[in-house]
Structure 1
Amino acid sequence: MPGKSLASSPLTFDSATCFCTADLATSAPNIISFSVTFSSSVPQKAIKRFGSTHFSSKKWAIHSTSQIENSALSNEDRKTWEACRQALSAFNFSTEEEDKILGKAFGHVHSPYWGEERKKEVPKLEIVNEILDYLRTLSLSDDDLYKLLKKFPEVLGCSIEHELRTNVQILEKDWGIKGKSLKNLLLRNPKVLGYNVDCKGDCMAQCTRCWVRF
């Protein structure tokens, strides 16, 4: 009987460990041919679960980029966007990562940091460059900025005068954090650059931007 011949085969699927060890650790084409050949035996839930884990980051990158590409940007705006991408090229991000950073900073990709307050806007090259140059004055190397932008891409959408400079002054004057200590803090918790609320214990429901997190 077909059931018996399948059970006697070395490729059995009675346990999760057998299913996950061999071919599924290889490339996407192998996964596709594998699932077609044994479609009658492989648990579909397991395939879906593996597929969603294996490809989740790639799908997110494509989705975030398509959100931006589908935005109502004029030709001039697209040129500006491309120029801002070039400003990030020194950090060796992929095109998808550059789009995601700019998208999160300027409201084209949803970010919990902004909540619902961030409206879409086209990034301005001079602002992006000004913020990057200011961050470099804090003794942050390009490698440091790569890490900071990965953790907190929204920094490019913050106000350099009302948030970045003000917060660095608060850290230096009120907390005595400067120099190397400041650099280490910014790499560990770069969101401190964007704090603009101090609820002083009376919650204002803006926790992602509140000094209470510090």
Structure 2
Amino acid sequence: MSALGAATLQASRLGQLSNWPQGRSLGASFGCRRRTRVGATIVHHGHHSSKSEPSLHSRLCSRNSSPAKPYCGCRVPAAGATRAAAVVVCSSSGTIEALSRQLNQEEESTWKASCDVLVRSLDLGADESSRLVARAFGWTTQAFWRQEKVEELPTPTQVENALEVLRIDLAMTSEEAARVVRVFPELLACDVEGRLRANIAQLGSQWRLKGPTLTKAVIRQPAVLSYSLDCGGDCIGECNRCWARF
């Protein structure tokens, strides 16, 4: 008898002497022992036993978390914890960061409607739109706003009006507008008349920028739409909103 035939006969006998479900391979019956290490995570192949290993987060994180205290220091939600309704997705690293406070149903609806404006007008993904809106309205960084806007709730009207300035006043294409918003999302929360259109007027009157030249200047330096002061060469430490940078 060949070696293959002997192995088949042995497998058949083992199946008859046990209560194993017929038609399953030996590897599936015993539970597959082959494992592959991917980074710090062990991936099991084939049949899994009922005993599960602790999650990677529970093994690596030394901080305790609970439903009453939903997030530990590494910002990973505990089992059964309630997450904030909207999340900020950092596309560069693929991580998910929840907003710092829970949104109620009305706020969540307004947040989603504001993100949908970017999705619809600029053809951005929902995750990227949420991240840009969060930064624009002071939820994730104060590098530009410096406490002027802190966790301000976005509105679809504000976002639409800001995009209208790019599309109509500056004659940008959707691709150009998307590039500008990605570089400087804070413009979405700037006052449309008092800041955006006022600065476009100043670029025309003081620097004689008009038409395509004006559009190219804004694409090159989107933050110029937010400038609100001019130190006149005597630096006051607010360079991110000063005309001296232009």
TM-score by length of 2: 0.61
Q: Deviations over 1:18-77 (max 9, x none)?
A: xxxxxxxxxxxx8716987xxxxxxxxxxxxxxxxxx99224x522xx12xx52321101
- Corresponding residue for residue 75 of structure 2: none
Which AA in structure 2 matches 1:156? L
The equivalent position to 1:87 in structure 2, one of 79, 99, 117, is 117
Does residue 188 (structure 1) correspond to residue 220 (structure 2)? The answer is yes
- Corresponding residue for residue 115 of structure 1: 146
Distance (Å, rounded) in 1 between the aligned partners of 2:236 and 2:37: 49
Larger RCO: Structure 1 or Structure 2 (Cα < 8 Å, ≥ 6 residues apart)?
A: 1
Does residue 154 (structure 1) correspond to residue 154 (structure 2)? The answer is no
Does residue 211 (structure 1) correspond to residue 221 (structure 2)? The answer is no
Evaluate the alpha carbon distance shift between residue 107 and residue 34 of structure 1 in structure 2; reply closer, same or farther with a 3 A threshold. closer
The equivalent position to 1:129 in structure 2, one of 153, 160, 168, is 160
- Corresponding residue for residue 209 of structure 2: 177
Report the alpha carbon displacement of residue 118 of structure 1 after superposing the two structures with TM: 2.2
Evaluate the alpha carbon distance shift between residue 31 and residue 96 of structure 1 in structure 2; reply closer, same or farther with a 3 A threshold. farther
TM-score by length of 1: 0.70
Contact conserved, 2:230 with 2:242, CA < 8 A, in 1? yes
- Corresponding residue for residue 96 of structure 2: 62
- Note the aligned Cα RMSD (angstroms): 2.3
Report the alpha carbon displacement of residue 212 of structure 1 after superposing the two structures with TM: 0.8
Unpaired segments ≥5 residues, structure 1: 1-29, 37-54
Higher helix share: 1
Q: Quick check: which has more Rg, 1 or 2?
A: 2
Q: How many residues of Structure 1 are paired with residues of Structure 2 in the alignment? A: 163
Does residue 199 (structure 1) correspond to residue 234 (structure 2)? The answer is no
Which AA in structure 2 matches 1:85? C
DSSP-derived class of the 1:173 partner: helix
DSSP-derived class of the 1:62 partner: strand
Higher strand share: 2
Unpaired segments ≥5 residues, structure 2: 1-35, 43-89
